[in-house]
Amino acid sequence: MGIYEELEWRGLIKDISSPELREKLNAGGMTFYIGTDPTGDSLHIGHFSSFLISKRLKDAGHNPILLVGGGTGLIGDPKPDSERPMVTKEEVQHNFDCLKKQAQKLFGFEVVNNYDWYKDINFIDFLRDYGKYFNINYMLNKDIVRRRLDAGITYTEFSYMLMQAMDFWWLHENKDCTLQVAGQDQWGNITAGIELIRKKTGQEAYGFTMPLLTKSDGTKFGKTNGHAIWLDINKTSAYEMYQFFINSEDSKVIDYLKFLTFLSREEIEALEEKNRTEPHLREAHKALAKAVITFIHGEEAYNTAVKIAQTLFGGNLKDLTVDELKQGIADMPRFTVTDEQPLVEVLVTTGIAKSKRESREWISGGSIMVNGEKITDPMTPISRSQAFNQEFTILRKGKKNYFVCDFQ
């Protein structure tokens, strides 16, 4: 099975510019690029799904270039419903430096910055050397532009298409790049670049897009509790990432395995069967979490995430270090309590229990654990001296409901 057929099986090809690209991809030897704007100081799991396709192509004999758009990032790709807020040059440069370091560590690709070729172009040259190749009717017909016409679109946003086309042309002329790969929402920008290269050089360039990774309701994959899943371990811990993948939708987990891992077709089909016949074992989810976390953060971080998960759901909390506990409690509900406050009052003042009567029933019935130990005396004080690192106390109600108490 050639690389094109593998990408097709994994569901990673949405649009393709030319039928002959199939043979070219299978033959190897193409220089291609994939880009992102530095809108943040870390890549997230959505970027990861896109950049993995670059590694697949590299392993198949192609030459990848990662473009981090220090120039286009100052303009902003048009959103479907509103204009992006402008960011400062200093912020864009900071984000570029962070993304470059992160991407090179993860993937080892050559990283380029389109600000390097934009900074010396004046407005007259821009119009004469590039603007004249774009027909306004052609640009208005692009999906993202057409969707914004009723609400209004600024000339700045409208020009973004030209800038991305210029990127493809510049890389074609200076890096012998003949292929652009991107998410399906970039199809209009890719074809604009192909047209610019054809008109300025008479040569053929190619492009294909991959489907956006989504949840079953159509929303973007990669967020939990409204927060993105970042590749920077200081922004999203390995444990938080583990929980995200373990809790993936059963109906989508096989798609995620195809998009986000290098597991073989045979391995994925075996996991698909297990997911169908024994979904309670969550074998596919565990394989997904292991593959992604190990690739991004290494085996040690993955093992730590598993240790935290297993301990929180049945082990001894004292087996975890304070740092491991802090990973585990990051998304738990938190309350501030008074030192030496009785447990029966803590449950009520925090809202965990509706009344003292309910609180006493839970405690005397053995439903409440404090720092991993079952407490049956309602008047047991919750004290800073007994807290982990004298910072926080962990309450558990039943088997799965955790709460964190910080002290005033």
Higher pLDDT, 126 or 146: 126
Residue 272 or 154, more confident: 272
Report how far residue 48's alpha carbon sits from residue 278's, in angstroms, rounded to the nearest whole number.
29
Q: What is the dihedral of CA 185, 31, 7, 112, to 10 degrees?
A: -50
Say yes or no: 240 and 114 in one domain. no
Same domain, 294 and 347: no
233 with 203, same domain? no
pTM of the model: 0.88
User: Out of 4-8, 43-47, 231-235, 267-271, which region has the weakest mean confidence (pLDDT)?
Assistant: 43-47
Residue 389 has pLDDT above 80, yes or no: yes
- Statement to judge: residues 347 and 249 lie in one domain: no
Mean pLDDT throughout 350-366?
94
217 part of a folded domain = no
For β-strands 110-113 and 15-16, DSSP reports them as unpaired
Residue 327 lies in a domain: no
Q: Are residues 61 and 198 in the same domain?
A: yes
**CATH number of domain containing 392:** 3.10.290.10
Residues 265 and 139 in one domain: no
What does the alpha-carbon distance between residue 170 and residue 358 come to, in Å, rounded to a whole number?
Answer: 69
Q: What is the DSSP secondary structure assignment for residue 189, as one 8-state letter? A: H
Summarised one tens digit per residue, pLDDT across range 285-303 is: 999 999 999 999 999 999 9
pLDDT digits (tens, 9 = 90+) for 202-258: 999 999 999 988 888 877 777 666 678 999 999 999 999 999 999 999 999 999 999
Residues 68 and 175 in one domain: yes
Single out the residue in 290, 319, 348 at which a domain terminates: 319
Question: In this structure, is residue 265 part of a structural domain?
Answer: yes
Q: Do 304 and 366 lie in a common domain?
A: no
Mean pLDDT of the chain: 91
Give me the domain span that covers residue 386. 334-407
Q: Which of 181, 210, 239 is the last residue of a domain?
A: 210
160 is in an annotated binding site: yes
Q: What is the CATH number of the domain that holds 47?
A: 3.40.50.620
What angle (nearest 5°) sits at the alpha carbon of residue 100, between those of residues 94 and 101? Answer: 95
Q: Are residues 193 and 243 part of one domain?
A: no
Within a domain: 61:
yes
The pLDDT value recorded for residue 67 is 96
Residue 101, annotated ligand binder?
A: no
Whether residue 61 is found in the same domain as residue 173: yes
Domain edge (last residue) among 175, 210, 245: 210
First CA to last CA distance, the chain: 62
Match 């299978």 to its residue by tokens.
26
Kindly state whether residue 244 falls inside one of the protein's structural domains.
Answer: yes
Flag whether 89 is in a domain: yes
Measure the CA angle with vertex 403, ends 402 and 408; round to 5°.
Answer: 160
- Per the structure, how many domains does the chain have? 3
Q: Are residues 92 and 39 in the same domain?
A: yes
Asked if residue 93 is part of any domain, the answer here is yes
Whether 144 and 94 share a structural domain = yes
Residue 53: pLDDT band (50, 70, 90) is very high
